[in-house]
Structure 1
């Protein structure tokens, strides 16, 4: 395997770690905690988990040049779900779809195929999209961890890397 594909696989492995550890965090949430938000200008816990579960699918829709209404439909696809297990399953299936897409690309496509998000005036190559998705996901996983800490959950920093 060449270096480009190894880097892609490392990025997908990091995303897998973030998904797995996010699922463990989601499974700790109690029904009465869903409406909690740290401050008035931030998402509720449920809104944050909905967004986290949607990231692989909504970002995939963005890099596949879907329209803003199409991306919003994907982003809101779990709006009616509040069962932690079902949210984890949605996150898993969304991540699997992103993984399949990235694995379907050859080296040239990863490095040179540029697609344009509806909100940008320029294209971005696929490997940069993957980097963006991984960092986007880790950002919101960190938020989830902090929300749960603020709610008094007993969490260890080490659980984010297991």
Structure 2
């Protein structure tokens, strides 16, 4: 296996960890908590979970150079879903689509194929998109963890690595 594919696989493992542990947090959400918002200028818990679950599919649409409207349709695909189980299933399905795309790329494509998001001036190579999706997911997993802690959930740091 090439070094490039080894790095790709490590990043995918980290992305899978982030999704798996995010799902364990989502599973703890009670129906009465969806409107929780730490501050007026922040997303509600429901908005945060919808965004988090959409990241692999939304970012895939972005890196595949979809239009702003097409990306918004993907981003808002879970609107109205309040079932933690359904959101978890959607998150896992979105991860599978993203992973399928990344695994389909050759080493050369990972390192040199550039795609440009509708909101950027310059494109990024696919391996950088993989890094972006991984860090984006971890960022919002951290927010979710903090929202749940603020809402009284008994959570511990170790659950983020299991």
Aligned to 1:89: 89
Q: How does 1:91-130 map to 2 (within 5 A)?
A: 91-130=91-130
Supply the distance in 1 between the matched residues of 2:113 and 2:30 (Cα, whole angstroms).
43
Aligned to 1:70: 70
Q: Does 1:41 align with 2:41?
A: yes
State the shift of 1:125 in Å: 0.1
Give TM-score scaled by structure 1 length. Answer: 1.00
Deviation digits for residues 100-151 of structure 1, max 9, x if unmatched? 0000000000000000000011110000000000000000000000000000
Aligned to 2:20: 20
Supply the distance in 2 between the matched residues of 1:61 and 1:88 (Cα, whole angstroms).
20
Q: Secondary structure at the match of 1:80?
A: coil
State the shift of 1:75 in Å: 0.1
Q: Does 1:55 align with 2:76?
A: no
State the shift of 1:92 in Å: 0.2
State the shift of 1:68 in Å: 0.1
Supply the distance in 2 between the matched residues of 1:20 and 1:117 (Cα, whole angstroms).
27
Supply the distance in 2 between the matched residues of 1:121 and 1:43 (Cα, whole angstroms).
28
Which structure 1 residue ranges, 5 or more long, are not aligned? Answer: none
State the shift of 1:6 in Å: 0.4
Aligned-residue Cα RMSD (Å) equals 0.3
State the shift of 1:80 in Å: 1.2
Aligned to 1:131: 131
Moved over 4 A (4+): none
Deviation digits for residues 73-99 of structure 1, max 9, x if unmatched? 000000110000000000000000000
Supply the distance in 2 between the matched residues of 1:15 and 1:122 (Cα, whole angstroms).
25
Supply the distance in 1 between the matched residues of 2:158 and 2:3 (Cα, whole angstroms).
29
**How many equivalent residue pairs?**
162
